[in-house]
């Protein structure tokens, strides 16, 4: 029997369409937070608090309040994209769109709050509605609020149209990449394009550095390990016959282990120094920490797997199509507690794959209920096990 009453089903669909229609960018999720807060306040026993400005954490009391606490996290922010889906509830905020499905994530998390309020888990469950995932700052801000200090395990998921509604990818180990950015400022000495001997050319140094950086992955990483170095920003010069003073380049690093992540950073520093020496310029490297890799915990993944089997059937669990080199700030929680992140199928039967962050992206509405059921069940199973293992 479905755990969703007709009333709850309607409530969640209405909520999701509202969130989709009025998307808000990272750290500006004010209407979104107000609406979600109102949804949580409907639950008589929920203890609701605002965190990280536009985030919320609601504590849903368990049967025994001394049992270790489990958290369920959904992110709530949208992207700076002009929607082009033709949905009847398409975005009415110009240039802003729920193109990553966080409208669904927020809604299935509210769904989980209802299910847990109706039928409490062994211990308390924290319902986490996290802002600012897209800019990689929300999870840290929620953690800094202290609201998750007593959480012992956390679960979350992401919609994915690679998989049909009712399918879930759930497995231990690496699940999303670490994402860091780097910048290199190269300073030489400008001069006339016709007399390069009088100058120290930062452009040729930048070219050599770009070439060398692209060999880090192919020549220093184990081919069976995954890493990416992409230079997405290059800036130098202003005229064909002028050697400029400086050049600037910036890029993104992706890795699925902390060892590889450290290796990429070390290599960038080393190669920038070597190139600077070779071309008699200076190269200043700035590395900016992004989010760590997602490493799903073995035990948490077992609980999530059991939840998928119980709610959606044994056939529901499908293998990951390919290791995701994208980032996800859920990884920040996993630095503080074990947990499991899932990819939750969002494609209607017969539907096409549409990538996230596309102006055409949408998730089938059935995904709300699959996600809420699985996350609730994972929370219950974990809570029960943590209670028994005390
Ligand atoms: Ni996303």
Per-residue pLDDT, averaged over 348-355, amounts to: 96
* Backbone φ and ψ of 126, nearest 5°: -95, 125
pLDDT band at 145 (very low <50, low <70, confident <90, very high): very high
Distance CA 19, CA 92 (A): 10
Q: What is the pLDDT of residue 55?
A: 98
**C-alpha 158 – ligand 1 centre gap (Å):** 6
262: closest CA among 240, 231, 239, 293?
Answer: 293
Q: E strands, the chain, where?
A: 47-51, 55-60, 69-75, 125-130, 151-164, 168-169, 173-176, 178-187, 191-192, 227-236, 242-243, 246-255, 282-291, 294-296, 339-347
**C-alpha 98 – ligand 1 centre gap (Å):** 9
Domains of the chain (ranges; CATH) run: 6-175+293-388 (3.40.630.10), 178-291 (3.30.70.360)
**C-alpha 198 – ligand 1 centre gap (Å):** 51
**C-alpha 268 – ligand 1 centre gap (Å):** 28
- Tell me the pLDDT of the chain averaged across its residues: 97
**C-alpha 278 – ligand 1 centre gap (Å):** 42
Q: Interhelix angle for 258-279 vs 202-220, to 10°?
A: 150
**C-alpha 284 – ligand 1 centre gap (Å):** 33
**C-alpha 200 – ligand 1 centre gap (Å):** 44
**C-alpha 381 – ligand 1 centre gap (Å):** 25
pLDDT digits (tens, 9 = 90+) for 26-74: 999 999 999 999 999 999 999 999 999 999 999 999 999 999 999 999 9
Q: What is the pLDDT of residue 321?
A: 85
Does residue 1 carry a pLDDT above 70?
Answer: no
Per-residue pLDDT, averaged over 78-86, amounts to: 97
**C-alpha 148 – ligand 1 centre gap (Å):** 21
Going from the C-alpha of 307 to that of each of 310, 342, 381, the distances in angstroms are 5, 12, 7
Does residue 2 carry a pLDDT above 90?
Answer: no
What is the chain's Cα-based Rg?
24
**C-alpha 212 – ligand 1 centre gap (Å):** 32
**C-alpha 26 – ligand 1 centre gap (Å):** 12
**C-alpha 387 – ligand 1 centre gap (Å):** 32
- Which DSSP string do the residues of 199-211 spell out, in sequence order? SB-HHHHHHHHHH
**C-alpha 272 – ligand 1 centre gap (Å):** 33
Q: What is the pLDDT of residue 322?
A: 85
pLDDT digits (tens, 9 = 90+) for 217-229: 999 999 999 999 9
pLDDT band at 162 (very low <50, low <70, confident <90, very high): very high
**C-alpha 78 – ligand 1 centre gap (Å):** 9
375: closest CA among 286, 292, 308?
Answer: 308
Distance CA 141, CA 332 (A): 10
Q: What is the pLDDT of residue 258?
A: 87
**C-alpha 176 – ligand 1 centre gap (Å):** 12
For the CA atoms of 208, 210, 215, 216, the dihedral, rounded to the nearest 10 degrees, stands at: 120
pTM: 0.91
257 CB burial (10 A radius; 0-12, 13-18, 19+): middle
- What b/e sequence results for 221-251 when a residue is b if at least 16 CB atoms lie within 10 Å of its CB, and e otherwise? beeeebbebebeeeebbeeeeebbbbbebbb
Contact yes or no for 110/116 (Cβ under 8 A): no
**C-alpha 76 – ligand 1 centre gap (Å):** 9
**3-state SS class at 68:** coil
């Amino acid at each position: 029997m479905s755990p969703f009453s007709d009333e709850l089903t309607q409530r969640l669909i209405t909520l999701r369409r509202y969130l989709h229609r009025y998307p808000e960018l990272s750290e500006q999720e004010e209407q979104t937070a107000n609406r979600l807060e109102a949804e949580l306040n409907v639950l008589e026993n929920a203890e609701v608090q605002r965190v990280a400005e536009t985030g919320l954490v609601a504590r849903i009391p368990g049967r025994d309040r001394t049992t270790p606490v489990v958290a369920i996290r959904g992110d709530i922010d949208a992207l700076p994209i002009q929607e082009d889906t033709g949905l009847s509830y398409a975005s009415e905020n110009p240039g802003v769109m729920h193109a990553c499905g966080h409208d669904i994530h927020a809604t299935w998390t509210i769904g989980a709050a209802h299910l847990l309020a109706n039928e409490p888990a062994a211990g308390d469950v924290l319902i986490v509605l996290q802002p600012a995932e897209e800019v990689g700052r929300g999870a840290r801000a929620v953690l800094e609020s202290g609201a998750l200090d007593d959480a012992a395990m956390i679960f979350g998921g992401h919609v994915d149209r690679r998989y049909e509604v009712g399918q879930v990818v759930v497995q231990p180990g690496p699940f999303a990449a670490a994402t860091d950015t780097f910048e290199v400022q190269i300073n030489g000495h400008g001069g006339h394009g016709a007399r390069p001997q009088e100058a120290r050319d930062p452009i040729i140094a930048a070219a050599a550095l770009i070439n060398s950086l692209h060999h880090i992955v192919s020549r220093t990483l184990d081919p069976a390990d995954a890493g990416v170095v992409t230079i997405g920003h290059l800036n130098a010069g202003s005229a064909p016959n002028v050697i400029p003073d400086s050049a600037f380049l910036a890029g993104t690093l992706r890795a699925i282990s902390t060892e590889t992540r450290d290796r990429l950073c070390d290599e960038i520093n080393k190669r920038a120094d070597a190139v600077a020496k070779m071309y008699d310029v200076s190269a200043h490297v700035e590395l900016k920490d992004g989010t760590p890799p997602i490493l799903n915990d073995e035990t948490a993944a077992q609980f999530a797997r059991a939840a998928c089997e119980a709610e959606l059937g044994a056939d529901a669990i499908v293998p990951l199509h390919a290791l995701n080199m994208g980032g996800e700030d859920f990884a920040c929680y996993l630095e503080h507690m074990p947990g499991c992140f899932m990819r939750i199928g969002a494609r209607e039967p017969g539907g096409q794959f549409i990538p996230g962050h596309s102006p055409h992206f949408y998730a089938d509405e059935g995904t709300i209920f699959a996600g809420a059921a699985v996350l609730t069940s994972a929370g219950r199973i974990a809570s029960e096990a943590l209670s028994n293992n005390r």
